[in-house]
Structures are given as C-alpha cells and as structure tokens.
Amino acid sequence: MNKRSDQSIWLALTPLYSVILGLAASGLMMLLLKHNPIEAFAQLFGYAFRDIYNVADIFAKATPLILTGLAFGFAFRASLFNIGAQGQFYMGSIGAVVVALKLGFLPPVLLLPLCLIASVVMGAAWGAIVGMCKSRFNANEFLISMMSNYVAVAIMNFLVRVPLKEAKGEYPQTDVISEAAWIQSLIPGTRFHWGFILALAAALLAYVILWRTSLGFKIRAVGMNRSAARYAGIDEKKIFVIVFAISAGFAGLAGFMEVNGIQHMVVQGFNPTLGPEGIGIAILGNAHPLGIVLSGLLFGALKVGGNLLTQTTTIPSSIIGIMEGFVMLFVVLSYFVQNKVILAQRKRRLAKGEDVA
C-alpha cells in the first residue's frame, strides 16, 4: 500500500506512454513505405471498432493471448522463464482435438469439459517436463523451454500429417470436430465466445493462487530471493515443477480456446506467434493478471485492426511484429525511467524531512 501511495497518477500510466511511443516508432517505419502513419493508425483503430463483429473479434483474439500471457507472467513471478508457451499451446490443442474427434458422440455438457481438461493436462504435462529438468538437473529452464517449442511443433506436424490427418487426405489438418464440441458464441453471429469468460476466470485464478494462497506466497518468495526462500524451508525444487505445470496449463487452455472456439480443427502450424506475443503481453502487463488481461485486449485490438489494415493497404503484416517489438522495448525503457522518477521523489521528500518507508 505504502509503495503505491508515493507514486503519482502519472507514473501509474507509464505502460500507456510505452504503448504510444512504441506505436509512434512503428509509425516511422510506415513512412518508409510512404504511408501516413497517423492515417494508418486512425484506419487501424477505425477498423478495430467499426462494427459489432470486429469489436467481438477483439475479445476472440484476446482470449488465447491472455492465456499465453499468463503462461509467461505466472512463471515470471517465481523468476522462472517459461518461453515455451507456443509448444504448450500446441500440446493443449492436440489434447482438445483428439478428445473432440474421438468422443464426438458425447453431448456438449460432457464433451466440452473433457476437451478443456485434456488441453490443460496436455499443456501442463509438457510444461512440467521443463520444470522437472530444472529441479532434477538444475538445467537452464530458459533454454529447455525454448527448445521444447521446436520439439512440440515437430510432434504436432507429424500427428497432423499422419495419424490425425483429415479423412479426405488432402491437407495437413485434422477433420472438423463435431458441433457438440464447439464453444458457443456469447453474441450470436460473432466469434466472441464463452472462452473469453473462461480466460478471465483463469486470470482471476492466477491472481488468487499468487496472492491469496500459501502456495502463491512460496512462489513469490522463490521469485524474490531464492536463497532466502530456501532458508525459510521452502522446497524450491517442488515449486519449479508446480509453477511450470500451472503456467503451461494456461497455455494449454489456449489450445482449447482456439480449437473448440475458433478453428474447430487443428491445422499444421496455426497461430505461430501466440507464444512470443504472450511474453510481450505479460511484460506490458507487469506480470500481473489484471495487467495481462488489459494488455491482451490491446494486442487483440492491434491484431484485428492490423490485419484489416494490411489487407486493405500495401502495409505488410510484419508491421504487427514491429509494433509489438517496439512496445515491449519501450516498456523495458519505462521501467528505467519509472525507477529514476520514484528515486527522485523519495530524495525530495527525504530532503524535506518527511518519513520515507
């Protein structure tokens, strides 16, 4: 509480400045293609909020992004780096699609929960392997989770090319899952589905685990000072595995959202940037569940507007990656500025003889 009170309202808005600066920097890149960036951004946000369908699409796009954001952010609270959200997402997708294909005769009340559980379990198991490598062998979790992405892609490519290939046998994709396994739309005729509510619930769950349970206390203790946590009797090795399983479970759940909510099948190499974007979202949201939800919505809007912008103008779609990269970079820079400002404020108060906690 104390820490918050000596930060002014302006300081609380730093993520917003980072976003504006990041978009401005990407605007300079648009000038290279002789596009007026102000017009382009007006167009981008105009498209994103043009009609109910597009606004609904923002929520649809934000849903998996919030989850991969949580996948990085949750582990980040334990000072662990889960770079493997992409692979965990693919594993979750496989879990969801296999259940939906093989048990398609079940009624939705049974089928949907089963798909959800399968996706979370598959993702969590894939992530727990990374956690186990970390705790058993003290391996570098950054490297292992990074490499696990490429392995997961290969596994998915194989499964979709051979055992799960569509009945027609034409493309490397699975059959369409039965309608009983589709997540219902919240607003009929749009892609805004119930999954978004589930993603919010997941964010709430992450918050509750981290700040309202003893497990969360241990996780944050390990994150702040590993040796102090160890002396306090916290089994950090167990925490590594648990954190990776939970983090990866979020990413796996994103697989359920995309397979059952949007695609209704698995296509080789679909959504290839969900994982890296989740990292950006988590950093922009300061690894806090609420921040992650808001950043996820912002990235969703950038995606919806950006896609339409690149379809209707000659600006290439790689501009979306540039926007994300610049925004992240400015967020990192803003941490520096923020610390400087807070330090200066405290010094001023100290000089005035006020008490600084």
CB of 160 to another protein, least distance (A): 10
| Residue 137 engages another protein in binding (rule: CB under 8 A) | yes
Query: Would you give the distance in Å from CA 143 to the centre of its chain?
Result: 19
Residue linked to tokens 């648990």:
242
Nearer of residues 13 and 143 to another protein, judged by Cβ:
143
| Residue 319 engages another protein in binding (rule: CB under 8 A) | yes
The one among 33, 38, 110, 187 contacting another protein by CB under 8 A: 33
Handedness of CA 287, 290, 294, 296 (dihedral sign): positive
The one among 55, 234, 267, 322 contacting another protein by CB under 8 A: 322
**Listed residue (101, 87, 95, 51) closest to 276, CA to CA:** 87
Nearer of residues 61 and 134 to another protein, judged by Cβ:
134
| Residue 81 engages another protein in binding (rule: CB under 8 A) | yes
The one among 229, 251, 283, 293 contacting another protein by CB under 8 A: 283
* DSSP reduced 3-state for 105: coil
The Cα 321–Cα 317 span in angstroms is 8
# residues near another protein by CB under 8 A: 45
Residue linked to tokens 């923002």:
58
Q: Considering only 112-120, 298-306, 324-332, 341-349, which stretch makes contact with another protein by CB under 8 A? A: 324-332
* DSSP reduced 3-state for 173: strand
In eight-state DSSP terms, residue 35 is: -
The one among 71, 111, 128, 133 contacting another protein by CB under 8 A: 133
The Cα 205–Cα 214 span in angstroms is 14
| Residue 154 engages another protein in binding (rule: CB under 8 A) | yes
The Cα 89–Cα 129 span in angstroms is 15
Name the CA dihedral angle for 128, 129, 132, 136, rounded to a multiple of 10 degrees. Answer: 180
Q: Considering only 52-60, 93-101, 156-164, 219-227, which stretch makes contact with another protein by CB under 8 A? A: 156-164
| Residue 147 engages another protein in binding (rule: CB under 8 A) | yes
| Residue 64 engages another protein in binding (rule: CB under 8 A) | no
CB burial of 172-194 (b: ≥16 within 10 Å; e: otherwise) equals bbbbebbebbbbeebeeebbbbb
Give the x-and-dash track for 257-276 against another protein (CB under 8 A).
-------------------x
**Listed residue (162, 161, 187) closest to 51, CA to CA:** 187
Q: Considering only 38-46, 117-125, 150-158, 244-252, which stretch makes contact with another protein by CB under 8 A? A: 150-158
| Residue 224 engages another protein in binding (rule: CB under 8 A) | no
What stretch of H or E contains 52? helix 52-76
| Residue 343 engages another protein in binding (rule: CB under 8 A) | no
CB of 346 to another protein, least distance (A): 16
Residues that bind another protein (CB under 8 A): 29, 32-33, 81, 83, 133, 137, 139-140, 142-144, 146-151, 154-155, 157-158, 161-162, 276, 279-280, 283, 316, 318-326, 328-329, 331-333, 335-336
